[in-house]
Amino acid sequence: MSKPPDSQRMEKIVSLCKRRGFIFQSSEIYGGLNGAWDYGPLGVELKRNLKSYWWRIIVHERDDVVGMDGSILMNRAVWKASGHEDTFSDLFVECPITKKRFRADQVEPQSGLVYYYSGATGRMNDEDAERILQTEVDPILRDLEFVWAEPFKDHVRKIRKDRGDWLGAVQAACDNWPDTRSRRQEIEDCFSATCSIAFSVLLAAGKPPEAAQKIAKLFYEQRGVIEPELIFDRKEPIKDTTRYNPENGALFNEPRPFNLMFKTYVGATEDESSITYLRPETAQSIFVQFKNVLEVARKKLPFGIAQIGKAFRNEINPRNFTFRSREFEQMELEYFCRAEEGMKLLDYWLEERLKFYENIGIAREKLHARNVPDEERAFYSKGTYDIEYDFPFGRQELEGVAYRTDYDLSQHQNASGKSLEYFDEETKQRFVPHVVEPSAGVDRTVLALICEAYSEDEAPDEKGKMETRLVLHFHPRMAPIKCGIFPLLRNNAQLVAKAKEIVDLLRPHMNIFYDESGAIGRRYRRQDEIGTPFGVTVDFETLGEKGAALRDTVTVRERDSMKQERVAINDLAGMLISRIS
Ligand code: ATP
């Protein structure tokens, strides 16, 4: 079972991310841009460490995978052939009151009492009445060959100004204009402010019916009825419905599809012929370059092509911090194989990917492989796993591992008319390879790393009194800064000089941080908070003041255990490198 969401923990994480420079809202000084985020000095390091490690494991440490870096803009034909132009959409529902849109499959199920209304009556507003006068009354009057149409309408407006009521004004005007008598009812009907659209409101148990009435009145007011009198129909209990807005109880409009691709124009003309899209996934450039890469890489099946890069989706509801963004990065591998190997390789890659997450410090028990059922899977996929992580806001997808058969290459082969076949030297057969795709999100994994690392524990302060310690327990491999270097006192030239020597020694090998300000305990805390796994302190022992044995040794403090050990400066680089790589 997934754990209940922990919004307090999430709030603390978001606030730490901003305070310490991991992640900022994009365009913050202008009020931000929904679904876009900027990574600050520490965030960018964390992200780079993740991407480098993925590249190392997927490309450099394997014989059977090569990399590529495709462009974000591609020929529109790619998106037609891949099916994205027609079908890359999510169903959305819209609240008729607030106009806010939600992804239909992401509305939380709710239970309660539904109040049904079959309509409302009331007065008509000026704007609607004016529109009706021009669009609905006009043809009725013209049908009568009513030469007095304009004066009649002016007369209605004048009476309405005096008495404030459109229906009454129309009735009074009809009394004075004999020609209107035969059509009087028709004209009057246009002005009776009745809205007979059915509407309903869901209220949680225990809420007073007035709350439903308030929302229903807003609904009918927006449809042109002033001071609506509701026509109540019935009330009924309901369970686990997703048809109502969780924020105000209003019945959503019918679900509609929304294409998630960002449309853009290439070149100086903005017309149909110059349309293309910002890529919504990196995979397609791998498929369309399959033949080129195959020729230059000279690989035999099974082999893979890997890519890391930006992708864009105009998500209906960006939310949960960076989890669902409109601009994000993906790390994708397309692993090409023979048809008969597909299912076995799907399981192989699932295991490889789970191992990867463990190796970057994500606990195995917080990872879940969900076997995506037939009805949720793309029609061409014979098997898909979602790797999910227990985020503080619930269990959510980190990565999809999908066996996509030969769908993608076949689509592009058919649409382009260019062969994307593989020639097997041994069997002399030609065929379109199948593919298994592990597709991971950089931003989601960065967020998982931060959520996993975040912890509050207790540690003694300068005077030995216990205080709350905020720590990010990043795996040393992922930590943005690997080592803090501290001279015990900032006003001692020898200590400072020695510490700077160590900075020069370590800098070529890792990202380090030099800090000489404040008490040493404070400096440790500052590094704990950003997840620096090691702290090196240069003290009087280092200078040889407590005997020759300790000369040129330093204290190395480990973040998680807070244990300190004495290490010779000569051994320092080797020891740290072995622990961060
Ligand atoms: P979801 O169901 O959450 O929208 P998806 O199944 O559509 O995701 P895929 O098309 O399989 O996602 O994309 C592969 C990976 O790309 C996802 O597992 C995720 O890590 C990442 N990803 C997809 N959409 C987003 C997004 N809007 N923001 C951040 N990462 C994303």
Amino acid present at 211: A
Show the tokens assigned to 395.
């269990």
Locate the ligand 1 atom nearest the alpha carbon of residue 330 and give its number: 16
CA–centroid distance, residue 500 to ligand 1 (Å):
44
What are the E-state strand segments in 282-433? 303-312, 327-337, 367-371, 383-391, 394-403, 422-424, 429-431
- First-to-last C-alpha distance (Å) of the chain: 35
CA–centroid distance, residue 328 to ligand 1 (Å):
9
Question: Which contiguous run of DSSP H or E holds residue 73?
Answer: none
CA–centroid distance, residue 105 to ligand 1 (Å):
14
Q: What single DSSP character describes residue 250?
A: B
Contact 448, 362 (CB under 8 A): yes
Amino acid present at 287: F
CA–centroid distance, residue 442 to ligand 1 (Å):
10
pLDDT tens string, the chain, 581 residues long: the values are 567 788 899 999 999 999 999 999 999 999 999 999 999 999 999 999 999 999 999 999 999 999 999 999 999 999 999 999 999 999 999 999 999 999 999 899 999 999 999 999 988 888 888 888 888 888 888 777 777 788 888 888 999 888 778 888 888 888 888 778 788 888 888 887 788 899 999 999 889 999 999 999 999 999 888 889 999 999 999 999 999 999 999 999 999 999 999 999 999 999 999 999 999 999 999 999 999 999 999 999 999 999 999 999 999 989 899 999 999 999 999 999 999 999 999 999 999 999 999 999 999 999 999 999 999 999 999 999 999 999 999 999 999 999 999 999 999 999 999 999 999 998 999 999 999 999 999 999 999 999 999 999 888 777 778 888 899 999 999 999 999 999 999 999 999 999 999 999 999 999 999 999 999 999 999 999 999 999 999 999 999 998 889 999 999 999 999 999 999 999 999 999 999 99
What is the pLDDT, as a whole number, of residue 182?
81
Among protein residues, the one with the nearest Cα to ligand 1's atom 29 is 324
Locate the ligand 1 atom nearest the alpha carbon of residue 90 and give its number: 4
Ligand 1 pocket test, candidate residues 381, 397, 435, 442, most atoms within 8 A of CB: 397
Q: What single DSSP character describes residue 268?
A: S
Locate the ligand 1 atom nearest the alpha carbon of residue 326 and give its number: 27
Among protein residues, the one with the nearest Cα to ligand 1's atom 6 is 400
What is the pLDDT, as a whole number, of residue 2?
65
CA–centroid distance, residue 571 to ligand 1 (Å):
44
Q: Please tell me whether residue 367 adopts helix, strand or coil conformation.
A: strand
Q: Please tell me whether residue 502 adopts helix, strand or coil conformation.
A: helix
Contact 67, 305 (CB under 8 A): yes
CA–centroid distance, residue 441 to ligand 1 (Å):
7
Q: Please tell me whether residue 415 adopts helix, strand or coil conformation.
A: helix
CA–centroid distance, residue 143 to ligand 1 (Å):
58
Q: Please tell me whether residue 421 adopts helix, strand or coil conformation.
A: coil
CA–centroid distance, residue 506 to ligand 1 (Å):
38
Among protein residues, the one with the nearest Cα to ligand 1's atom 11 is 400
What is the pLDDT, as a whole number, of residue 186?
85
What is the pLDDT, as a whole number, of residue 305?
98
Locate the ligand 1 atom nearest the alpha carbon of residue 332 and give its number: 14
Burial class (CB in 10 A: 0-12, 13-18, 19+), 380: middle
Among protein residues, the one with the nearest Cα to ligand 1's atom 1 is 397
Ligand 1 pocket test, candidate residues 103, 281, 330, most atoms within 8 A of CB: 330
Length of the chain (residues): 581
What is the pLDDT, as a whole number, of residue 1?
58
Ligand 1 pocket test, candidate residues 91, 328, 376, most atoms within 8 A of CB: 328
- CA 145 → CA 148, 179, 182, 185, 187, distances in Å? 9, 9, 13, 18, 15
CA–centroid distance, residue 320 to ligand 1 (Å):
13
CA–centroid distance, residue 56 to ligand 1 (Å):
22
Among protein residues, the one with the nearest Cα to ligand 1's atom 24 is 324
What is the pLDDT, as a whole number, of residue 296?
96
Show the tokens assigned to 210.
């007035």
Which residues sit with their C-beta closer than 6 Å to ligand 1? 281, 313, 315, 324-325, 328, 330, 397-400, 439-441, 443-444
The number of angstroms, rounded, from the C-alpha of 251 to the middle of its chain's C-alpha atoms is: 26
CA–centroid distance, residue 57 to ligand 1 (Å):
21
- Which of 485, 341, 504, 334 minimizes the C-alpha distance to 420? 334
Q: Please tell me whether residue 50 adopts helix, strand or coil conformation.
A: helix
Contact 147, 140 (CB under 8 A): no
Could you give the CA distance from residue 242 to residue 236 in angstroms, rounded to a whole number? 16
Q: What is the SS3 assignment for 132-191?
A: HHHHHHHHHHHHCCCCCHHHHHHHHHHHHHHHCCHHHHHHHHHHHCHHHHHHHHHHHHHH
Among protein residues, the one with the nearest Cα to ligand 1's atom 22 is 441
Could you give the CA distance from residue 561 to residue 182 in angstroms, rounded to a whole number? 93
Ligand 1 pocket test, candidate residues 439, 443, 447, most atoms within 8 A of CB: 439
Q: Please tell me whether residue 40 adopts helix, strand or coil conformation.
A: coil
Among protein residues, the one with the nearest Cα to ligand 1's atom 2 is 397
Backbone angles phi, psi at 197, to 5 degrees: -80, 130
CA–centroid distance, residue 402 to ligand 1 (Å):
13
Locate the ligand 1 atom nearest the alpha carbon of residue 441 and give its number: 20
Among protein residues, the one with the nearest Cα to ligand 1's atom 18 is 399
Contact 117, 198 (CB under 8 A): yes
